[in-house]
Amino acid sequence: MTTDGRDTRWAEHRETRRRQLVEDALRAIRRHGAGVGMDEIAAQAGTSKTVIYRHFGDRAGLYAAVVANVHAFIHHDLSAALQLTDPGDLPVLAHDLADAYLTLVERDPEIYRFLLTPPDASSVDPYGGLPELMGEHVSAAIADHLTRRGQDPSCAPTWGHGLVGFIRAAADSWMAAEPRVPRTEVLAHLDAFFSPALATGLAAVPQRQEL
């Protein structure tokens, strides 16, 4: 079965148009806030709500597309930041992860708030698989650190996913607060918790038992 070239071009056109509409939605959110309406999004896109619904079905469909776009951006930037971190220094790893996440949140606060307020009809998890992806990344770094020290790495998944979840929850609370304290203050609070906790935890991890 062959694919008609016109079908391929039409599919590519629709995908390009969807991406454009998502970018317009992001601009509208930045301009009008997390409570932006579909009329405002359509005006930003220079089109009608009917066109947006044609591409996304409803507001929940547009919300899902925005979530996917933002998650891809955050995952890319967090991964890039952690590539510059020495995985052998776990307090620094925790600091860099928290700093990168809080920086991204602070850069686009209304978009972050938009993600945390899904439409009633949406079944999309505002976080999607992002915490799991980052948790796996951090868990692997912790496991590598423990293994190189001859210690049992079995605690790595618990620590890695817990660390990511803790930072995410702290960011959510920070973004919901009015007025918000400076990002550096939140980061200092996280450092004050994680640095001694990781030092104590690392000292308590037993050596690996040789088979």
Please enumerate in sequence order all residues whose Cβ is within 8 A of that of 185, keeping only pairs 6 or more positions apart, or say none. Answer: none
| 79 closest CA partner among 137, 159, 140 | 137
Share of the chain above pLDDT 70, in %: 95
**CA atoms within a 13 Å half-sphere pointing along the CA-CB vector of 68:** 10
SS3 13: helix
Looking at the chain, the domain(s) classified CATH 1.10.357 span 68-204
Q: Answer whether residue 6 shows pLDDT above 80.
A: no
CB contact at 8 A, 114 and 67:
no
Does the domain made of 1-57 have the CATH classification 1.10.10?
yes
Query: CA-to-CA distance for 105 and 34, rounded, in angstroms?
Result: 13
Does the domain made of 68-204 have the CATH classification 1.10.357?
yes
Query: CA-to-CA distance for 28 and 62, rounded, in angstroms?
Result: 13
Looking at the chain, the domain(s) classified CATH 1.10.10 span 1-57
Digit-coded pLDDT (tens) for 130-159? 888 889 988 998 998 899 889 999 999 999
Query: Between vectors from CA 32 to CA 27 and to CA 36, what angle results, nearest 5°?
Result: 90
